[in-house]
Amino acid sequence: MDVKPNLMLQQIFSTYKTSFSGLSRETWLLSIVILINRCGYMAVPFMGLYVTQALHRSAAEAGIMISIFGVGSILGAAAGGKLTDMFGFRPVQILSSIIGGALFLIFSVVTDFNTLCVLALFISFFYDAFRPSNFTAIAAYASPGNETRSYSLNRLATNVGWAFGISTAGIIASYNYQVLFIVDGVVSICVGIAIILLLPAVKNFRKAIQEKMEGVVVGKVWKDLPYLRFILLTTVFATCFFLMFRIVPVFLKNVWHLNEAIIGLILGVNGVIIAVFEMVMISKIENKRSSSFYIVMGVLIVGLSFACLMLPRFLPVVVALISVICFTFGEMLSLPFINTIVIKRSNQFNRGQYAAGYTVAWSAAQVIAPTFGFYIAEKFGYHWLWIGITILLSICAYGYRRNLRNF
């Protein structure tokens, strides 16, 4: 009776073992650092609730703070790449983690709204300056031929950390928001210390890249029109994507009256499903259909997840779970293949430019999503917001299908 389940478990274990064998020690250590880093990103999805519930401000003001956080994210993502080229990925990761953590500690004791907005700008700047330097670190520490699998391990660590962090954050927020910000700040500082202690500097990394680039003409991302259209579509998709973690928690609290602990656990399901199933799913479906097919299907399923929020509120926890599960499977289908497009469209000499464009698309979405989402919700109601997002994602899926024919 138990033979088939045992065989399935053995196949899953074998898939993971094959996928991650042969990776360098530094790659594993970096993934541990990323896991800790994502655990410490727990406070961000609860900023909207903090403004409305603890500070007793309006939803529009919550949108302003989250949008300011997004502006800092854009600036940090752009500056992080430049700073990495100037000083190396290791010092940028260390300083961004420690300074960002220290600012979150200050954030926890400030109550003036304007000051909090300024702090949110600088916190997001340093938190997102970490991302391009981390991207470079993965490539630097990866053993030859294992770059793609190193990024896969990094994504797995990211989602395990996210699942644990967001679930823990909901429990902490239901007790005290200030404690949440203190924990977040301390964890971020620990990340910087962990990099100092665990990850060695890569000697002559920048010099080797510069030697390879001599005499090579590198394509410019702003001249690649199909890729720019791809970035525009990704910005639209990312804007809708962020609503799940910025606007939906406020909706679940204010409209469906779920408490913070339940909201955190529901959102945490996203990371758990990705951590358990994504690598197995991707290994089974990769190369069987085009990247375009999976991206389009994923975007449509994400749209379906928002449509679920229009269902009657007879079992709010169940409906919210169904929405998050649909969202997660849409994410697992779309994002890995969107990343593949970025990698295949670029090469080792201009991958930073292409990755920066992709990163800025997601950072810009952090600015657009909360302002747009809260404005529509306040003026027309959440029901019309979910209808609009479902339609917008359907249009986005069609746009991906048309544009990716040029790739």
Q: Are residues 227 and 356 in the same domain?
A: yes
Whether residue 285 is contained in a domain is answered as yes
Q: Are residues 54 and 186 in the same domain?
A: yes
Indicate the pLDDT class of residue 1, thresholds 50, 70 and 90.
Answer: very low
Q: Are residues 258 and 155 in the same domain?
A: no
Q: Are residues 234 and 267 in the same domain?
A: yes
Whether residue 15 is contained in a domain is answered as no
Average pLDDT of 320-342? 90
Out of 164, 190, 209, a domain closes at 209
- Is pLDDT at 297 greater than 90 in this prediction? yes
Whether residue 9 is contained in a domain is answered as no
Q: Are residues 116 and 223 in the same domain?
A: no
Whether residue 132 is contained in a domain is answered as yes
* Residue 392: predicted pLDDT: 97
Q: Are residues 291 and 398 in the same domain?
A: yes
- Is pLDDT at 351 greater than 90 in this prediction? no
Cα torsion angle, 221, 225, 231, 235, sign: positive
Average pLDDT of 232-245? 94
Q: Which domain holds residue 288?
A: 218-407
Whether residue 14 is contained in a domain is answered as no
Whether residue 167 is contained in a domain is answered as yes
Task: Name the CA radius of gyration of the chain, rounded.
Answer: 21
Stronger pLDDT, 3 or 153, i.e. the higher one: 153
**Most confident listed range (165-179, 359-373, 392-406):** 392-406
Average pLDDT of 82-97? 82
Stronger pLDDT, 42 or 391, i.e. the higher one: 391
Q: Are residues 222 and 198 in the same domain?
A: no
Domain with residue 55: its CATH number is: 1.20.1250.20
* Residue 296: predicted pLDDT: 96
Our count of domains for the chain comes to: 2
Nearest 5°: phi and psi at 236? -65, -45
* Residue 115: predicted pLDDT: 92
* Residue 94: predicted pLDDT: 92
Out of 209, 236, 263, a domain closes at 209
Whether residue 374 is contained in a domain is answered as yes
Whether residue 13 is contained in a domain is answered as no
Place of tokens 């420690």: 98
- Is pLDDT at 152 greater than 90 in this prediction? no
Assess contact for 298 and 332: CB atoms under 8 A: yes
Which of 32-36, 136-140, 341-345 shows the lowest mean pLDDT across its residues? 136-140
Helix crossing, 316-345 with 260-285: angle to 10°? Answer: 40
pTM over 0.95: no
pLDDT by residue (tens digit) across 5-20? 566 667 667 766 666 6
In the structure encoding, which two tokens stand for residue 332, read together?
């697992």
Out of 209, 235, 260, a domain closes at 209
Q: Are residues 232 and 267 in the same domain?
A: yes
Q: Are residues 202 and 287 in the same domain?
A: no
